[in-house]
């Protein structure tokens, strides 16, 4: 009995040991499986982060490329607009310069013809020359358009600072900007030279100027960058 009991105890201890080993093995397997699961989750998370960073990088590069392309196109459009503006300004200056030159040429021709014996044909020619340069309503509108392209604020500032000036006086001041003589202004406006003198006298009186030189300096130095 003693031997049997000892054997049974030994057998029970062995079974208990094996049972404990099985339990420990299962626990170890569970721990390993859990670690593998965590490792897989971390790997998946890392891959997701790498993918997200890659997508963001691609989006950033595309945004940078499109932005540079947009800015380049915008710069080209701005440069083209500036070039067109400069060309238009040069053309406008050329038109006004040609107008002033034509007036001087016509004025010199009229003076030469007037020195000669006036015939019927000469009178007709003088009349044509004068009528060709008269600033009609449409002509004045066209002249203002050209004038404002070069001196965009001159007329508006002159009117604002001197509201008592008439339309004829404003025209005279605009022509004074081109340093035309009284004869040339008269030819361009289709009026007598004396009419120009009277108009300038009224302007000097309204502006408190003493001489033609003062008027010329006033017009040339009149600020339009206020």
Chain center to CA of 34? 66
- CA dist 45 and 51 (Å) reads 10
Structure-token pair, residue 118 = 């006036």
User: What 3 state SS string does the chain have?
Assistant: CHHHHHHHHHHHHHHHHHHHHHHHHHHHHHHHHHHHHHHHHHHHHHHHHHHHHHHHHHHHHHHHHHHHHHHHHHHHHHHHHHHHHHHHHHHHHHHHHHHHHHHHHHHHHHHHHHHCCCCHHHHHHHHHHHHHCCCCHHHHHHHHHHHHHHCCCHHHHHHHHCCCCCHHHHHHHHHHCCCCCHHHHHHHHCCCHHHHHHHHHHHHHHHCCCCHHHHHHHHHHCCCCC
Confidence (pLDDT) at 126: 47
Mean pLDDT by 10 residues, the chain (226 residues): 78 78 83 85 88 89 86 82 73 67 60 51 50 61 75 86 90 84 81 89 91 88 72
Residue 117's φ and ψ, nearest 5 degrees, are -70, 125
Confidence (pLDDT) at 203: 93
Confidence (pLDDT) at 129: 45
Note whether 172 and 199 are within 8 A (CB): yes
Burial 177-199 (b: 16+ CB within 10 A, else e): bbebebbbbbbbbebeeebbeeb
Confidence (pLDDT) at 1: 82
Confidence (pLDDT) at 164: 92
- CA dist 199 and 19 (Å) reads 127
Confidence (pLDDT) at 92: 65
């Amino acid at each position: 009995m003693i031997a049997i009991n000892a054997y049974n105890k030994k057998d029970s201890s062995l079974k208990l040991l094996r049972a404990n080993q099985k339990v420990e093995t299962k626990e170890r397997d569970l721990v390993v499986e859990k670690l593998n699961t965590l490792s897989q989750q971390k790997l998946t998370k890392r891959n997701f982060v790498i993918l997200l960073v890659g997508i963001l990088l691609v989006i950033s590069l595309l945004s940078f490329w499109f932005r540079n392309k947009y800015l380049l196109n915008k710069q080209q459009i701005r440069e083209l607009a500036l070039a067109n503006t400069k060309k238009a300004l040069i053309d406008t200056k050329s038109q006004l310069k040609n107008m002033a030159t034509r007036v001087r040429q016509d004025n010199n021709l009229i003076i030469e013809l007037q020195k000669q014996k006036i015939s019927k044909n000469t009178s007709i020619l003088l009349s044509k020359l004068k009528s060709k340069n008269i600033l009609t309503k449409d002509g004045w509108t066209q002249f203002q358009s050209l004038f404002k392209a070069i001196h965009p604020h001159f007329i508006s500032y002159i009117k604002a600072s001197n509201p008592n000036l008439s339309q004829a006086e404003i025209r005279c001041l605009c022509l004074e900007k081109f340093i035309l003589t009284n004869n040339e202004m008269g030819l361009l406006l289709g009026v007598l030279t004396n009419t120009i003198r009277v108009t300038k006298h009224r302007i000097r009186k309204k502006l408190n100027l003493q001489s033609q030189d003062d008027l010329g300096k006033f017009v040339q130095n009149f600020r339009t960058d206020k």
